[in-house]
Amino acid sequence: MAVTLASELQLPCGAALPNRIAKAAMTEGLATPDGKPTPELERLYGIWSDGGAGMLLSGNIIVDKDHLERPGNVVIEAEPDADMKARLASWAEAATRNGNHFWAQISHGGRQTQKLVNPHPKSSSDVQLALPGGQFAKPTPLTKDEIADLVRRWAIAAKACQEAGFTGVQIHGAHGYLISQFLSPRVNLRTDKYGGSLENRARFLLEIVAAVRTAVGPDFPISVKLNSADFQQGGFDFGDSLQVVQWLETASVDLIEISGGTYEQPKLMGVEGMEEEEVQNVAPSTAAREAYFVDFAKAMQAEVAVPLMVTGGFRTRAAMEQALASGAADVIGLGRPLCVDTDAPNALFGGAEELVRYEDDLDLLPPWLRFLKRFQMVKAINGFAGIYWFYQQLWMLGHESRVDRGFPVMKAFRLVDARNKRIMKERVAP
């Protein structure tokens, strides 16, 4: 029987996704300053639940309040109190009201924690993020005791989400966040059992997977988000990724989301980085010109049986169905389209052929200055600024249940930046 977007997917743990579309994880910035879910998060995820996706992934739920991915993240770093439990349960109830799955993406910013959050971040090693502007400080290497504590925190957060009514968890091992920093030979310069060989660099991730599985039991879905590659000279490459996927399959992971890039090389966002991209030895395909990571996933599917989710760039039904039919993907992840067209999954099930690429029209530079985008740094900064427009759409959905397709990019950039600073000011206030 042909696999379609509406087909059910049976996971190794026994759970089943009702269809093949997932709302990919996108940072929301809607939690309280101390990291608790809010009515705005409930409103946003209720809207997405009604949109028809078979599974929703939360944005980063952080295991250390001093290593936020951005201000406004939800934080679970210890056994939650009664208020936190109630808030998590209300969020999960709203996010599953249409009968879909809702999985918690659990993460740690590591060296990709901005200075306004923490001027002394921790990472695998002391390699500083190579971005202009001085927003990220040089990190301090984690001790073995700190690593063990973080493994424990991942398990605590996963169990708390399970008890609150989430139907699965995703361990964020991609995009240059902490686990990805351990996996990268470019960032991980350790000489102990967590550094050097790929087996050692993957130890932190595999210890987290084992601890989470022990905490949630055998029947609860565990996913890992993993870079197909970092796309950087000397970074985590496709051969490394394939080997880690094989280890994760053995470790009873139920779904692996294939992504790629870091803040320095943000392939995940469709944004160009500050350095020339490291080309990976995977043949380009017609579908991959639309969906960034299809060919990587297809190459992996030839080696492993674990279900794969591919996120990044899908905009047409044809490319989504081609990815499913070819076996390159078992689940299609949609991100930015759902910031504006929250009913996009239902539209696809109803026969829609294409989703609008709003990012094509987002430009911080006025027309007379766009020639400056010939410079790599200007192009990268302009691309990052456009991302704030999507952040603003999520803010409006959470607060007002609406979007504004004509919202000015510069205004969105200013508003989001101001909110981030206000959240941090409130967070540190006595």
Helix (H/G/I), strand (E/B), else coil: 258: strand
CA dist., res. 298 & res. 293, Å (int): 9
In-domain check, residue 378:
no
What local confidence, expressed as pLDDT, does residue 241 receive? 85
CB atoms closer than 10 angstroms to residue 86: 14
Helix H or strand E encompassing 387: helix 376-400
In-domain check, residue 387:
no
Residues facing 170 on adjacent strands = 105, 223
Grouped pLDDT means (10 residues each) for the chain, 430 residues: 92 98 96 97 98 98 96 97 98 98 97 92 91 80 98 98 98 93 94 97 98 98 84 65 93 90 51 44 51 78 91 89 91 94 96 81 58 58 75 97 92 92 77
Listed residue (268, 287, 267, 269) closest to 277, CA to CA = 267
In this structure, which long-range contacts are made by residues 322-328, counting pairs with CB atoms below 8 Å and at least 24 apart in sequence? 322/286, 322/287, 323/287, 323/291, 323/294, 323/297, 324/3, 324/4, 324/5, 324/7, 324/20, 325/2, 325/3, 326/287, 326/298, 327/298, 327/301, 328/287, 328/294, 328/295, 328/297, 328/298, 328/301
**Tokens, residue 46:** 């209720």
Q: What are phi and psi for residue 394, nearest 5 degrees? A: -65, -40
CA dist., res. 110 & res. 121, Å (int): 6
What local confidence, expressed as pLDDT, does residue 125 receive? 97
In-domain check, residue 366:
no
**Tokens, residue 171:** 């361990």
What local confidence, expressed as pLDDT, does residue 76 receive? 98
Give ∠ CA 177-165-396 in degrees, rounded to 5: 65
SS3 content of the chain, % helix, strand, coil (to 5): 40, 15, 45
Per-residue CA distances from 378 to 229, 273, 373, 391, 405 (Å): 24, 10, 5, 21, 24
Helix H or strand E encompassing 173: strand 168-173
CA dist., res. 138 & res. 40, Å (int): 34
**Tokens, residue 183:** 């996996």
In-domain check, residue 23:
yes
Residues facing 255 on adjacent strands = 223
In-domain check, residue 430:
no
Parent domain of 282:
9-360
In-domain check, residue 160:
yes
Output the pTM of the full model.
Answer: 0.90
Listed residue (258, 361, 351) closest to 308, CA to CA = 258
What local confidence, expressed as pLDDT, does residue 214 receive? 98
In-domain check, residue 377:
no
CA dist., res. 225 & res. 270, Å (int): 17
What local confidence, expressed as pLDDT, does residue 235 receive? 54
In-domain check, residue 131:
yes
Listed residue (42, 165, 62) closest to 113, CA to CA = 62
CB atoms closer than 10 angstroms to residue 210: 14
Length of the chain counted residue by residue: 430
Give the helix ranges, DSSP H, for 142-202.
Answer: 144-164, 178-183, 198-201
Domain total for the chain? Answer: 1
What local confidence, expressed as pLDDT, does residue 240 receive? 85
| 303: CATH | 3.20.20.70
CA dist., res. 225 & res. 227, Å (int): 7
CB atoms closer than 10 angstroms to residue 343: 15
- What single-letter DSSP state applies at residue 272? -
